[in-house]
A and B are shown apart, each in its own frame.
Chain A
Amino acid sequence: MTDKTDITLNINGRDHAISVESRRTLADAIREECGQTGTHIGCEHGVCGACTVLVNGEPVRSCLMFAQQAAGKPIRTVEGLANGDEMHPMQRAFMENHGLQCGFCTPGFLMLAVGVLEKEPDITDEDLVDVLSSNLCRCTGYQNIIKAVRAAAIEMRQS
């Protein structure tokens, strides 16, 4: 299993030329080969959503995708949300609404929420809760995450 293939991962607009085994997960490649450790690994079986990133604009569990499958496709991670010092409205809303405690699940929630709202800016509150129920958080009880995403949705619609 040590045969490696050269691929290029485009993360937040930057190319990373890496060499990976075919079994290497996208999550591991993003974190280890590309050094972007903001994407977290919580279960490695596709349930918790901590490793959610956007590939081609779609939220995906990066622990369930092989790095080679994402080669050449635009990947967005939490590191690419802010514009320099200026946080993305979603990040700001999480801060203002105390939508995080330990912060481990947060990058996954941020990417999930941003990915969904960019495609469906007028998503109903009920559908939004349904979407957010696909990721796990153990600290907040979700209340403030839902509040934050709703607040950010309003701001994202206006901008």
Chain B
Amino acid sequence: MSVARPKLVGQSIVRKEDGPLLRGQGRFAADVNFPNQLHMRVVRSTYAHGNIVSVDLAPALAIPGVHAAWAFADVADIPPIDFRLTKLEQLAAYRQTILAKDRVRYVGDPVAVVFADDPYLAEDAAEHVVVEIEELPVILHADGETGEFRDGLSTEPAIIRKGYGDVDAAFANAHATVSLSLSIGRHSGVPMETRGAVGRYIADTDMLEMYGAAKVPHWNRDQIAKMLGRPPASVNLFEGHVGGGFGVRGELYPEDVLVCLAAMRLGRPVKWIEDRREHFIATNHSRQQTHHIRAAIDRDGCILAIDDEFFHDQGGYMRTHAATVPDLAAAMLPGPYRVPVYRAVGHIRLTNKTPGGTYRAPGRYESTFVRERLLDAIAAETGVDGVEIRRRNLIDKSEMPVTRALETLGTDIVLDSGDYVRLLDKALDGVSWTALQAQLKQRRQAGELVGAGVAMFVEKSGLGPFDDVRITINTKGLVEVVTGAASVGQGVETVIAQICADTLGVGYDSINVIHGQTDRIGRGLGAFASRVTVMTGEATRLAAAKLRDKVLATAAGLMQLPADSLDIVNGEIVRSDSSAGPSMGLAEIATALAPGAKFLGEREPSLFAEASFESRHMTYPYGAHVAVVRLARDTGAIDIERYLVAYDVGKAVNPMLVEGQIVGGVAQGIGGALYEEFTYDDRGEPLSVTFADYLMPTAREVPHVDVIISEDAPSPLNPMGLKGAGEGGTNAVGAAIAAAIDDALGQPGAITQLPVSPQMIKAILKNNL
């Protein structure tokens, strides 16, 4: 068989997704409607902590057009929402029920639901539900005293411990020790589309459906089935367009289960669309951690050991991610450096805030900030330049692959490939580092507060253990790729079509990619952890190669030519030596194999192929960020003058999309570094409940971002060498900006927490006077 020449993989072609989205023909959750549907409104706790004394639904039920209202007693038979990843037995008692039982644990905790004919009416009715709560003292700091979750359970349900080597001995023998206390603020994904779910029960077939699914439709299907006591095959989830995911959207939340339960019980479709205030207090928060880290170093500034203790602010309950975020923080903290001895101790703490989950580069945005602050502190301690300190500690290409004695997400950490030093050089060259340093020096001498910072990191991607793809060619010659992946807006259809087109030898436009539909494929893992291009991409390549063989074998029979003399070019089966002669279209091959066709004989009917790609290890992309900032002496304002990301993704299927991922990721990283924070008053009342309080970067705050897409280190774990591109733009932003601000202030270690506000800068400047 001749190998199809790569044509589309590696090219920045325009997306398959764009047409409908640009024409206003998208189908987002709120766009889904069914005749006779009811609208659900959630009544949420206005107290951060308290005992529920009573819930009176009667005033709401008395309103015409209100059809039902429930409190916990009405859903007491439904088990709490289970863990999807990083389960720990001792966390089970901390799971969230779909309505609060007898205690509320954060402002926003669902206490009751009402169902009405109209969403405005449902909102009115919700305000008539009378909830009496006896207020309890709140815990708002993860690193303070522990308290009682309930029934004698501590607010510290588990401690994550990871590491290797003799830490005490390493510190005892060190030339010097560097210690820091650092914290990362509470912020989150905040997609532009709030969450939404529409449940529908079809009685005559006993099928339950949910629309508005995202991220992990198959897992959620199985869980909803389990929680409602139904066979999984009697539940289907449908993903439409998804207005951004970033880790938070698509996890299983109480509202998803409630609309399904209500659709069954009330016999009408039930629609719920989250409003923005609800989103800020109900959808997963993330990031908030405080670290106490120290490094043992030798006289050259080489790391002998790292010892980190941190406190993870989980909020009110353990949600679907269980221990995932602190686990990743602990496992990924060593980053791209040689760390001979390591210990991380992560305290998971329940507080009276919105529960947490993953957000783009979960655990890594945090631990990269901490580690890179540590590297900068080592540089300051030893008097060696920060770039040079990094060079001395970076793992060398010759050492690859590197097995860390650490595991996360059920996989051993094996850094599969990388040339970290080379990437650092690319990043520095990208900003003409030496010349930049000279310019900044000159400007500082002229009185400006300007500085530059560098941060490096290792990401992870391509989480298995499997993905399935089925490719079918119909009798019109059109190709359909069905995957168990999901799309949160990142361009899945485009990338999968590019890989399919090249491998199969068909036109990009003739391919239709189906994702996120549980009725179309038996299993699927969805879209998270930068996994889709790697896992689904390779499964697509495998299935397309199989299908290609099948096409050529069938064509050989029909054309009376040996299969190895044939090729598929743009959907036509032709002689591979390019000699003139007969050709056939894919439609003809599919027709020949159609059920009942004369040619079929003993052959399997229909022109399709299926393949699974299995992988027990993740792939590890890596990157460097460079930030240049200017501080305003009078206001403390922080202006990012330049930003560069160099990211090695092994192989970029569509560089335009990779760049889009990186730049978008940087913008979110900037939000967490400078602007975004969920704050609370002393009673646990959330203070960031509108876009006027929770400040997301706009076109004015996000600088031009230079992107270097590097392909030095293809992954050995899949034939195309793919590594995921979704999270590297976000990962090191806090770290790089902190370093740049330090440099601008001329004060190493000045920045110890994120987000950095102008007030903080002003305070530092004032103290310096």
Contact A45 B14 (CB under 8 A): no
CB distance from A142 to the nearest CB of B (A): 4
Measured between beta carbons, the chain B residues less than 8 angstroms from A2 are: 121
Which of the residues B24, B191, B664 comes within 8 Å of A107, measured between beta carbons?
B24
Q: Which residues of B contact A87 (CB under 8 A)?
A: 22-23
Q: Which of A39, A42, A91, A146 contacts B193 (CB 8 A)?
A: A42
Q: Is B75 interfacial (CB-CB < 8 Å)? A: no
Q: In the bound complex, what is the Cα–Cα distance between A1 and B691 (angstroms)? A: 28
Interface string of A126-159 (1 = CB under 8 A from B): 0001101111111111111110000000000000
- The total number of A-B Cβ pairs within 8 Å is 171
Bin the interface of chain A by size: 35 or more
CA distance A129 to B704 in the complex (A): 12
Q: Which residues of B contact A142 (CB under 8 A)?
A: 667, 698-699, 702
B191 pairs with A21, CB closer than 8 A: no
B30: interface (CB < 8 Å)? yes
Q: Is residue B550 within 8 Å, beta carbon to beta carbon, of the partner chain? A: no
Contacts of A21 in B (CB 8 A): 120
A56 close to B (CB within 8 Å): no
Chain B contact surface mostly: loop
Given A42-B193, A143-B704: 13 more A-B contacts, CB < 8 Å? A31-B30, A45-B690, A81-B23, A101-B489, A103-B18, A104-B191, A107-B24, A137-B192, A138-B244, A138-B667, A139-B660, A141-B665, A144-B663
Chain A residues within CB distance 8 Å of chain B: 1-2, 21, 23-24, 31, 36-45, 47-48, 50, 77-79, 81-82, 87, 91, 94-96, 98, 100-107, 110, 129-130, 132-146
With both beta carbons as reference points, the residue of chain B lying nearest to A91 in the complex is identified as: B22
Contact (Cβ within 8 A) B246 A79? no
Give 7 CB contacts A-B under 8 Å.
Answer: A48-B691, A101-B244, A102-B243, A102-B488, A103-B243, A142-B698, A143-B663
Q: Which residue of B is nearest A25, CB measured?
A: B120
* Min CB–CB distance B356 → chain A (angstroms): 19
Contact B192 A140 (CB under 8 A): no
Could you say which residues of chain A place their CB within 8 Å of the CB of B275? Answer: 44
Chain A: minimal CB distance from B236 (Å)? 22
B489 touches A102 (CB 8 A): yes
Closest to B491 in A: A101
Question: A47-B691, A144-B660 are contacts. A103–B241 as well, Cβ < 8 Å?
Answer: yes
Inter-subunit contact B664/A141 (CB<8 Å):
yes
Interface centre among B31, B190, B665 (most CB of A within 10 A): B31
- Flag if B691 contacts A141 (CB, 8 Å): no
- Nearest CB in chain B: distance from A107 CB, A: 5
Please tell me if the beta carbons of B698 and A136 are within 8 angstroms of each other in the complex.
yes
Q: Are B276 and A45 in contact (CB under 8 A)?
A: yes
Binary contact readout B679-707 vs A (1 if CB under 8 angstroms, 0 otherwise)? 00000000000111000101111101100
Complex A-B, nearest 3 residue pairs according to Cβ-Cβ distance, in ascending order: A38-B24, A102-B489, A103-B21
A139-B244 Cα distance, complex, nearest whole Å: 7
Residue of A with least CB distance to B668: A138
Taking the closest CB of chain A, its distance from the CB of B513, in whole angstroms, is: 16
Q: Is the pair B242, A102 in contact by a Cβ cutoff of 8 Å?
A: yes
Q: Bound state CA distance, A91 and B246, in angstroms?
A: 25
Residues of A within 8 Å of B18, CB to CB, are 94-95, 100, 103
Interface membership of chain B positions 119-132, coded 1 if the CB is closer than 8 angstroms to chain A and 0 otherwise = 01100100000000
B28 within 8 A of A: yes
Instruction: Check: B10 CB closer than 8 A to any chain A CB.
Output: no
CA distance A142 to B121 in the complex (A): 37
Say yes or no for B666: interface residue by CB 8 A criterion: yes
By CB atoms of chain A within 10 A, which of B241, B664, B699 has the most?
A: B699
Q: Determine if A41 and B30 form an interchain contact, defined as CB atoms under 8 angstroms apart.
A: yes
Whether B17 sits at the interface, judged by CB under 8 Å, is yes
Also in contact, A136 and B696, with CB within 8 A (given A91-B22, A143-B704): yes
| Interchain CA distance A95-B657 in the complex, whole Å | 12
Also in contact, A146 and B22, with CB within 8 A (given A140-B664, A141-B666): no
A141 with B702: CB separation less than 8 A: yes
Query: How far does the alpha carbon of A140 sit from the alpha carbon of B78 in the complex, in Å?
Result: 40
> Are A50 and B192 touching (Cβ within 8 A)?
yes
Q: Evaluate contact between B663 and A42: CB separation under 8 angstroms.
A: no
Instruction: Name the one of B25, B120, B663 contacting A38, with C-beta atoms under 8 angstroms.
Output: B25
Interface assignment of B87: CB less than 8 Å from any CB of chain A: no
CA distance in complex: A101, B194 (Å): 16
Q: Are B663 and A138 in contact (CB under 8 A)?
A: no
Q: Is the CB of A138 within 8 A of B246?
A: yes
B696 touches A138 (CB 8 A): yes
Within 8 A of A (CB), among B481-528: 488-491
